[in-house]
Amino acid sequence: MATAYYSHPDCAAHDMGRGHPECPERLAAIGDHLLATGLDVALDQRDAPLVDLAELDLAHDTRYVAEISDRMRQAEASGEPRAVDPDTVLCPATWKAARRAAGAAVAATDAVIDGEVDNAFCAVRPPGHHATRNQAMGFCFFNNVAVAARHALDKRGLKRVAIVDFDVHHGNGTEDIVAGDDRILMVSFFQHPLYPGSGGVPLGDNMVNVPISPYTRGEEIREVIEMMWIPRLEDFKPQMIFVSAGFDAHREDDLGQLGLVEADYEWITRRIKQVADRYARGRIVSCLEGGYALGALARSVATHLRVLADL
């Protein structure tokens, strides 16, 4: 078996405007690097399907799904972008891109649970971990990881899943959705203070929030992971692990001030994989979140994929 790699050209068509950091070039940089290094041929490449809108209701309010979907369709029909907040814009291509992003996460979950592949990475946009139960924000519209985690629990019958979030920004949307759900353990680190300014006080006992001071480097973050994440994950014994894989904690990324490098992402991925191999039959679905320095993003994703694929 192999590591599945889900993506789709529709995800690259989503464009929030010139100079926006969450840009189509992010996926191009990843794809070009995989091609240049030959890593693309080692992956089971799959098209991201369109999500069944009923799946979105597993993580989001039904009214929110209907309202934001209607706004996306209006933008698609009019050809005019529509701002959701100062940083988040619906463009004509967002309707298909957002459904592909969530659809990839759900399809990857099914493929891994069904044993078609060992694990999966979703190279998709828009990202998802800032999307709350009823609000789009922070470049995010649908919470891809939360939708997939709830799909594994509510549709596929798993009893316990973990969400690991290593984006430089706190995954406030995911916390809003899963806090208090004892079937889900969420562990994360994030720079604090930094957008969106949340996470200092966890919203539920199933949350392991680790705020990190600016300019912290990888060695200290590894120590925190060993001390704060790993014991909770081992006690929880997840049957599957979902990863919000943000690579904007890289020292080259201007949207944060942490000091991770590719070797740190390799180590973090390996520790996640060790927990998954021990308790979850190796089942991991990882979804792209942040990462805006294109070279660092491409190299870090490739490092993440090599660990997932045992290369």
**Is residue 33 annotated as a catalytic residue, yes or no?**
no
Q: What burial letters (b/e) apply to 169-200, b meaning 16+ CB within 10 Å?
A: bbbbbbbbbbeebebbbbbbbbbbebbeebbe
CA distance 226 to 281: 21
Vertex 113 angle, CA 109 and 119, to 5°: 65
Q: How many residues does the chain have?
A: 311
Residues 129, 130, 151, 304: which is the catalytic one? 130
Residue written as tokens 């659809």? 103
Which residues have CB under 8 Å from 105's CB, separation 6+?
A: 122, 124, 128, 144, 145, 147, 148, 242, 285, 287
Residues labelled catalytic: 130
